[in-house]
């Protein structure tokens, strides 16, 4: 609704950069058509607030707070017999509890944040937080410890803001099994090394930090054949790196927009909706790889083309530039995880190189080629952009 107030006419072409009223576009000519003003949105919400006050007054209430828990003020419409709604039984929702208990939350809840592992991390990281000095420490971790590193990341950002710490200033190692969202939203300067295994959402929203997940040296299992981390690894990551020695579950690197992530096998829907960054999969994948992938690049070892969703991407051989990029990433992976897979690949690099395919977004590649050609032809950035839009408009 606020978009409509600002001029949106719901053409549903936001993703095409052709918004005719200039709301959702980077095209300068289209943006010039935008007629919205902040005052329009303010007035819209003032009208909403006024109507809410009128509705509350009609119910004999003075505020939203007084409406909380007032189930007795709710009712259900009569639905004709045979209609879908007639099958719904809303009585449990509309039940009015008996007795004199509170009908809304009136007590302070203790979520136990003072006892989280991150409090230990923040204390151990004090030299880095206060004086930007390097620190190293080790901690045990259990699967009940969730979002480990997130509060630490917040403390780093509060302390240093737009002047991030150098890489690996805070270098923490964790031993055990991590709960959900290990290393979520961790910023630059923080390295989190997990020796053990992790649940879902490792590196969610990663913002410059470095995450390593690897088995213990005493493990007798073949790491590349075991699932060491759960689903949706690197979801929404914007920068930083994730190195995982072992396989992961479904939806690896969904919505990755800038991080580098290396793994040794993944389940279904890997690389879904990627818009940037680099992903490397050194093992088999499930189905529907790269669905909706519009940016970034990925390298697949022994790729199965039937499992790649070709609507928006294509599988191509590596060129000299991408080969060097991949080799550098594998060398990093070997150093950080002692991966036997990476070691074997690098030991016979010329032969191994031919086993890799690059996943490349078709439209992005076409735009980059057009931009390169435009530069070589002496065109300005605006002329190149206009040319690309004209080509896109005509298919």
pLDDT digits (tens, 9 = 90+) for 218-264: 887 888 889 999 999 999 999 999 999 999 999 999 999 999 999 99
Q: Taking 70 as the threshold, does the pLDDT of residue 321 lie above it?
A: yes
pLDDT bracket for residue 103 (50, 70, 90): confident
- Cα of first residue to Cα of last residue in the chain, in angstroms, is 32
CB burial readout 36-72, b (16+ within 10 A) else e: beeeeeeeeeeeeeeeeeeeeeeeebeeeeeeeeeee
pLDDT over 90 percentage in the chain: 74
Total H helices, total E strands in the chain: 13, 12
Residues 6 or more apart whose Cβ sits within 8 Å of residue 283: 224, 247, 263, 264, 265, 266, 301, 341
pLDDT bracket for residue 113 (50, 70, 90): confident
User: What pLDDT is stored for residue 391 in this prediction?
Assistant: 66
Q: Which of 19-23, 295-299, 322-326, 374-378 has the lowest mean pLDDT?
A: 374-378
Strand order in the sheet with 257-263: 135-141, 170-178, 190-198, 207-214, 239-244, 257-263, 275-281, 295-301, 356-361, 313-316
Q: Which of 113-117, 126-130, 305-309 has the lowest mean pLDDT?
A: 113-117
Q: Taking 90 as the threshold, does the pLDDT of residue 111 lie above it?
A: no
Q: Taking 60 as the threshold, does the pLDDT of residue 104 lie above it?
A: yes
Counting Cβ atoms within 10 Å, is residue 9 exposed (0-12), middle (13-18) or buried (19+)?
A: exposed
Q: Taking 90 as the threshold, does the pLDDT of residue 162 lie above it?
A: no
What letter does residue 308 receive in the DSSP assignment?
A: B
Mean pLDDT computed over every residue of the chain = 93
Q: Taking 60 as the threshold, does the pLDDT of residue 132 lie above it?
A: yes
Instruction: Quickly tell me which residue has 């017999």 as its tokens.
Output: 81
Q: Taking 90 as the threshold, does the pLDDT of residue 302 lie above it?
A: yes
Residue 387 sits at φ, ψ, to 5 deg, of -65, -45
Q: What is the rounded distance in angstroms from the CA atom of residue 308 to the CA atom of residue 323?
A: 21
pLDDT bracket for residue 393 (50, 70, 90): low
Instruction: Quickly tell me which residue has 């928006």 as its tokens.
Output: 312
Interval 365-387 mean pLDDT: 84
User: What pLDDT is stored for residue 153 in this prediction?
Assistant: 97
User: What pLDDT is stored for residue 369 in this prediction?
Assistant: 83
Question: pLDDT per residue over 17-31, tens digit each?
Answer: 889 999 998 888 999
What is the SS3 assignment for 99? Answer: coil
User: What pLDDT is stored for residue 99 in this prediction?
Assistant: 77
Q: What is the rounded distance in angstroms from the CA atom of residue 389 to the CA atom of residue 315?
A: 25
User: What pLDDT is stored for residue 15 in this prediction?
Assistant: 82
Q: What is the rounded distance in angstroms from the CA atom of residue 293 to the CA atom of residue 122?
A: 37
| Cα→Cα distances 267→31, 39, 107, 274, 284, Å | 42, 49, 44, 16, 8
Q: What is the rounded distance in angstroms from the CA atom of residue 168 to the CA atom of residue 218?
A: 25
Higher-pLDDT residue of 87, 328: 328
Higher-pLDDT residue of 80, 237: 237
User: What pLDDT is stored for residue 386 in this prediction?
Assistant: 79
């Amino acid at each position: 609704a606020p978009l409509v107030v600002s001029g949106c006419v719901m053409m549903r072409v936001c993703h095409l950069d052709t918004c005719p009223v200039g709301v959702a576009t980077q095209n300068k000519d289209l943006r010039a058509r935008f007629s919205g003003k902040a005052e329009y949105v303010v007035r819209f919400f003032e009208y909403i607030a006024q109507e809410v006050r009128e509705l509350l007054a009609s119910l004999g209430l003075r505020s939203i707070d007084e409406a909380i828990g007032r189930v007795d003020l709710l009712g259900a419409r009569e639905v004709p017999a045979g209609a879908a709604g007639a099958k719904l039984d809303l009585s449990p929702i509309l039940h009015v509890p008996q007795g004199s208990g509170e009908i809304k939350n009136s007590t302070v809840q203790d979520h136990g944040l003072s006892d989280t592992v991150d409090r230990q991390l923040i204390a151990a990281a004090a030299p880095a937080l206060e004086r930007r000095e390097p620190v190293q420490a080790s901690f045990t971790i259990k699967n009940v410890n969730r979002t480990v590193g997130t509060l630490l990341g917040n403390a780093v950002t509060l302390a240093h803001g737009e002047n991030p710490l150098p890489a690996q200033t805070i270098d923490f190692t964790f031993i055990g099994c991590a709960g959900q969202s290990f290393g979520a939203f961790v910023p630059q300067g923080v390295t989190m090394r997990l020796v053990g295994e992790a649940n879902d959402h490792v590196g969610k929203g990663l913002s410059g930090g470095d995450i390593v997940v690897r088995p213990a040296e005493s493990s007798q299992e073949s790491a590349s054949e075991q699932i060491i981390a759960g689903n949706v690894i690197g979801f929404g990551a914007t920068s930083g790196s994730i190195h995982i020695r072992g396989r992961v579950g479904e939806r690896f690197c969904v919505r990755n927009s800038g991080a580098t992530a290396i793994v040794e096998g993944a389940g279904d829907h890997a690389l879904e909706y990627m818009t940037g960054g680099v992903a490397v999969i050194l093992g088999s994948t499930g189905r529907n790889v790269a669905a909706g992938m519009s940016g970034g690049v990925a390298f697949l070892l022994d790729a199965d083309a039937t499992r790649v969703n070709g609507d928006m991407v294509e599988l191509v051989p590596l060129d000299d530039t991408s080969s060097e990029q991949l080799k550098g990433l594998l060398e990093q992976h070997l150093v950080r995880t002692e991966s036997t897979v990476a070691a074997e690949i690098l030991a016979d690099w010329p032969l191994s190189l031919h086993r890799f395919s690059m996943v490349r977004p078709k439209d992005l590649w076409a735009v980059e080629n057009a931009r390169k050609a435009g530069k070589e032809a002496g065109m300005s950035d605006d002329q190149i952009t206009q040319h690309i839009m004209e080509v896109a408009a005509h298919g």
